[in-house]
Amino acid sequence: MTGNATAELTITGMTCDSCATHVRKALEGVPGVLEARVSYPDATARIVLEREVPVQRLAEAVAARGYGARPRNNDATSAGDGQGLHIAVIGSGGAAMAAALKAIEQGARVTLIEHGTIGGTCVNIGCVPSKIMIRAAHIAHLRRESPFDAGLPPTSPTVLRGPLLAQQQGRVEELRRAKYENILESNPAIGVLRGRARFLDAHTLSVTLNDGGEREVVFDRCLIASGASPAIPPIVGLADTPYWTSTEALESDSIPKRLAVIGASVVAVELAQAFARLGSQVTILARHTLLYRDDPEIGETLAAAFCGEGIEVLEHTQANRVAYAADEFVLSLPSGQLRTDKLLIATGRRPNTRELNLEAAGVAVDKHGAITVNDGLRTSAAHIYAAGDCTDQPQFVYVAAAGGTRAAINMTGGKASLDLTAMPVVVFTDPQVATVGLNEEEAHHQGIKTVTRTLTLDNVPRALANFDVRGFIKLVADAETGRLLGVQAVAAEAGELIQSAALAICNRMTVQDLADKLFPYLTMVEGLKLAAQTFTKDVTQLSCCAG
């Protein structure tokens, strides 16, 4: 191009006239550009040049402000497919990684911002290390006690927490490297900024870099996937004590002689049993009952199993005050005092949203600080999305990852929604707790008349062969149609059967459909078929593997 030549570009990522101003200033800052006229409605830029300027240089100037640019005579890419979009992702956990990978697959450019350890909660301080610890505790328990002690005399194991912790953390580091760090390093379309992000306005983030300095990131779209942190109850004196959250508990290199657990949800019950099986004398303080948001029979069954293992469960109990002196915690309870060596607080998790300055971007949160999203993961700001534990959706990593993927599709012009109708949940206690769909109370709240059946495990051949009949399988069906609405199970390996129930609900199967299907004999999942048969038959009168 020579003289007062012109160039025309298609600009992607603009959402308002202010964006057009950003693009104009970026172009007019390129040496050789006399003037740039940018139209947001037309998504175009007309540039007057005083000398030849490579189009790539113009595109790079636009990209530096977070927008995309390409010559108008090469406009084969359809609008909204992600081509040229700049997407900022806050976080690096399951939701963030799923979104980043899907976004670059759609042609977008991603800047991922993380102030802490790459990988987020699940791989580093949540799912992975906790399940490793729980598995080790299960092995210790079986060596100490099993239904086959008469023929396999038990031997109480010596628990060496140091080597167990090293094994646990080694696997954590291996998975973090393979599933997060290596993937980021091998994808040049994903840039990583190590620092803490906050919104300056609806299209700009300020990042306080870990190694000093500030960086502004201008984006077309943004995904907030900042996760959550342990919520700490306002108990008098607690803040002045060296209490544990799940993070400190999982990283501890010793097993306390006495452990008190405040909380009654998933993290509380899983870690309480793990520490008990590794040698701690454990007391659980539950404000209501164990897993009180679920079917009441679940909490009752789990409490009975815990008591059978020597775990003290104090239901409807709260600590009024906590003190710490001489390496000992003293909890003031309505019934007296409880003394313990370590105190684990496991009362839920709070969304990490307080430091993001969401007001500047027009992003709304609920009373708990969780970002409100629709089924497409869009926030109250049309071009900003959120997924994972920082939102008002269930705090499970597979929900986060699914949300991140769908958010990326929507951010790049597609249309996807996250359906949580048949979301399976597993609590990794022993026996395990697994649920999917509606329980009776939830169905009635929706105005659905139900019919239910509960099958105790002494009717499941696999449980009988294992000499472990603790628990039950409960089916909730629509009273008018027989369609399966929900399943609640407490059983060894209940987590391995619940996905079959989820698929049945997704496919709108009736309990009769389920009863008529073939299930392999001597599996726990056969219990679903047997439970379904109880709607029309007395299963105690059936032969083994009766069809």
Please give the pLDDT value at position 419.
96
Residue 160 lies in a domain: no
Active site residue 122: yes
Domain extent for 58: 5-74
In sequence order, the 6+-apart residues with CB closer than 8 A to the CB of 412 are: 80, 81, 82, 85, 87, 102, 103, 106, 107, 108, 221
pLDDT class of 83 with cuts at 50, 70, 90: low
Please give the pLDDT value at position 56.
75
CATH number at residue 39: 3.30.70.100
Of 304 and 541, the one with more pLDDT: 304
Q: For residue 431, is the peptide bond before it cis, meaning its omega torsion is within 30 degrees of 0?
A: yes
pLDDT class of 18 with cuts at 50, 70, 90: confident
Residue 138 lies in a domain: no
Please give the pLDDT value at position 81.
59
Identify whether residues 403 and 263 lie together within a single domain: no
Identify whether residues 278 and 205 lie together within a single domain: no
Has residue 71 got a pLDDT over 80? no
pLDDT class of 54 with cuts at 50, 70, 90: confident
Has residue 317 got a pLDDT over 50? yes
- Distance (Å, whole) CA 387 – CA 90: 10
* Least confident piece of the model among 51-55, 242-246, 251-255, 533-537: 51-55
- Per-residue pLDDT tens digits for 384-435: 999 999 999 999 999 999 999 999 999 999 999 999 999 999 999 999 999 9
Please give the pLDDT value at position 42.
78
DSSP structure class, residue 364? -
Mean residue pLDDT across the chain: 94
196 three-class SS = strand
In sequence order, the 6+-apart residues with CB closer than 8 A to the CB of 86 are: 13, 63, 66, 67, 68, 108, 109, 110, 111, 218, 219, 220, 221
Has residue 80 got a pLDDT over 70? no
Q: What count of other Cβ atoms lies within 10 Å of the Cβ of residue 339?
A: 11
Mean pLDDT score, 229-255: 98
Residue 66 lies in a domain: yes
- Distance (Å, whole) CA 381 – CA 202: 8
Identify whether residues 294 and 335 lie together within a single domain: yes
Residue 494: name the closest of 410, 428, 408 by CA: 428
DSSP structure class, residue 370? P
Identify whether residues 290 and 361 lie together within a single domain: no
Query: How large a percentage of the chain has pLDDT more than 90?
Result: 87
Mean pLDDT score, 27-43: 90
Has residue 162 got a pLDDT over 90? yes
The model's pTM: 0.85
Amino acid in position 74: N
From 180, 390, 521, 545, active-site residue? 545
From 67, 180, 243, 385, active-site residue? 67
- Distance (Å, whole) CA 349 – CA 390: 9
pLDDT class of 546 with cuts at 50, 70, 90: low
Active site residue 545: yes
From 1, 40, 127, 324, active-site residue? 127
Active site residue 544: yes
Has residue 76 got a pLDDT over 50? no
Please give the pLDDT value at position 293.
94
Residue 327 lies in a domain: yes
Q: Could you tell me if 311 and 286 are in contact, meaning their C-beta atoms sit under 8 angstroms apart?
A: no
CATH number at residue 255: 3.50.50.60
Identify whether residues 245 and 307 lie together within a single domain: yes
Query: How large a percentage of the chain has pLDDT more than 70?
Result: 97
Q: What count of other Cβ atoms lies within 10 Å of the Cβ of residue 216?
A: 11
Please give the pLDDT value at position 65.
87
pLDDT class of 13 with cuts at 50, 70, 90: confident
To which residue do tokens 């540039």 refer?
Answer: 47
Mean pLDDT score, 278-300: 97
In sequence order, the 6+-apart residues with CB closer than 8 A to the CB of 342 are: 244, 249, 252, 256, 258, 259, 260, 280, 329
pLDDT class of 545 with cuts at 50, 70, 90: low
Identify whether residues 448 and 463 lie together within a single domain: yes
Active site residue 14: yes
Domain limit, last residue, from 297, 328, 347: 347
By DSSP bridging, strand 472-478 and strand 450-456 are antiparallel
Identify whether residues 261 and 322 lie together within a single domain: yes
pLDDT class of 212 with cuts at 50, 70, 90: very high
Please give the pLDDT value at position 79.
35
pLDDT class of 1 with cuts at 50, 70, 90: very low
Identify whether residues 404 and 432 lie together within a single domain: no
Identify whether residues 102 and 38 lie together within a single domain: no
Could you tell me where the DSSP H helices lie in 345-495?
A: 397-411, 440-445, 461-466
Residue 287 lies in a domain: yes
Residue 132 lies in a domain: no
Q: Could you tell me if 203 and 19 are in contact, meaning their C-beta atoms sit under 8 angstroms apart?
A: yes
pLDDT class of 72 with cuts at 50, 70, 90: low
Q: How many domains does the chain divide into?
A: 4
Identify whether residues 218 and 249 lie together within a single domain: no
Residue 387 exposure: Cα atoms within 13 Å on the Cβ side:
35
Of 157 and 41, the one with more pLDDT: 157
- Per-residue pLDDT tens digits for 485-497: 999 999 999 999 9
Residue 19 lies in a domain: yes
Amino acid in position 433: V
Identify whether residues 325 and 211 lie together within a single domain: no
Has residue 318 got a pLDDT over 50? yes
Has residue 77 got a pLDDT over 50? no
Identify whether residues 386 and 519 lie together within a single domain: no
Residue 457 lies in a domain: yes
200 three-class SS = strand
